[in-house]
Amino acid sequence: MTNASTSDRGSPESLGQTISKGVLGRCPRCGKGPLFAGFLDNAGSCTACGLDYTFIDAGDGPAVFVILLVGMIIVGAAVIVEFTWHPPMWLHGLIWVPLVLGLSLGLLRPLKGILIALQFRNKAREGQIDQRQ
């Protein structure tokens, strides 16, 4: 028995399909209705299949992943630029501040969508632990 959700045809959904629904901000069940009502606000339910989105609890997960990923990329790139070309500090600010803002805002919504889609796929619920023997 698998934890993967099933599509309308009854076949198990692949991890790639789940992730693509999350990246596109689509309903984790049907992939057609919007997942978000605003930039990061969850819609109440799917307009296509009627899935109630009250199960959604992404918490701080997307923000933490974005902070770690963007931090790793920017710090690594800044160190390489510093040791290769030795630009002045004002140029570092001019380069890295817009990149941090752009990458952070650009990655936040897709990562939140992915975490919500994975939560739906794996039937994750608050306070439940799988009791396998």
- Per-residue model confidence as pLDDT tens digits over 19-75: 999 999 999 999 999 999 999 999 999 999 999 999 898 889 999 999 999 999 999
What's the pLDDT score for residue 125? 77
Quick one: pLDDT band at residue 2, thresholds 50, 70, 90? very low
Q: What is the pLDDT of residues 98-127, one digit of tens each?
A: 999 999 999 999 999 999 999 999 988 777
In sequence order, the β-bridge partners of residue 52 are: 45
Quick one: pLDDT band at residue 1, thresholds 50, 70, 90? very low
Lowest-pLDDT range, 9-18, 75-84, 87-96? 9-18
Say how far apart CA 77 and CA 71 lie, in whole Å.
10
What's the pLDDT score for residue 11? 60
Does residue 121 contact residue 21 with C-beta atoms inside 8 Å? no
What's the pLDDT score for residue 26? 97
Say how far apart CA 46 and CA 117 lie, in whole Å.
13
Does residue 3 contact residue 123 with C-beta atoms inside 8 Å? yes
Quick one: pLDDT band at residue 5, thresholds 50, 70, 90? low
Say how far apart CA 124 and CA 4 lie, in whole Å.
11
Phi and psi torsions of 45, nearest 5° = -160, 170
Mean predicted confidence (pLDDT) in 77-90: 97
Tokens 């999350």, located at residue = 22
Instruction: Tell which residue, 24, 28, 20, has the closest CA to residue 120.
Output: 28
What's the pLDDT score for residue 58? 87
